[in-house]
Amino acid sequence: MPAEKVVREFFEKVRSGQDPDAAHRLMADRVLAHQITSEDEVTVERSPVDYADHVREMLNVYGAFSIAINELLVQDDRVYVRWKQSGVHVGEVDGFLPTHKPVVQIASAVYRVENEKIAEYWIQIDREGIRIQLERNKEECM
């Protein structure tokens, strides 16, 4: 399966929350996830099981969210994706109690596919933008 098809199916099934357990078919047993938090680069090791759990956590916090791919570029074994995720804040996250208000996440990642599975990715999420939305929603509920 070409890299683009692997990543598209990953977004359609796993990342969307439609079928988190499809991670077993689309992710290697050990995936290196390079993440940036407050300009600090951290690499964590993910498995299909803990990634599926991560998606379930997002569903618990943002409900049945929608996800739209805004851009997808492919070069050899790497696929760049920029997406917009929209949900409703229905569960506690980072100390913010549910507000039942919309929350939008903008993110991008480069996925490296090896043997028809995601083996590594580099991701950037606008976490500060999410925090600002949660803070604003909290103030509106007071």
The DSSP secondary-structure symbol of 64 reads S
Distance CA 21, CA 17 (A): 9
Tokens representing 57? 């956590």
Full-model pTM: 0.92
Instruction: Dump pLDDT digits (tens) for 16-34.
Output: 999 999 999 999 999 999 9
Instruction: Dump pLDDT digits (tens) for 78-91.
Output: 999 999 999 999 99
For the chain, give the percent of residues with pLDDT over 90: 80
Distance CA 79, CA 99 (A): 35
Distance CA 17, CA 37 (A): 23
- Domains along the chain with CATH numbers: 3-141 (3.10.450.50)
The DSSP secondary-structure symbol of 21 reads G
| Residue whose structure tokens are 């739209």 | 68
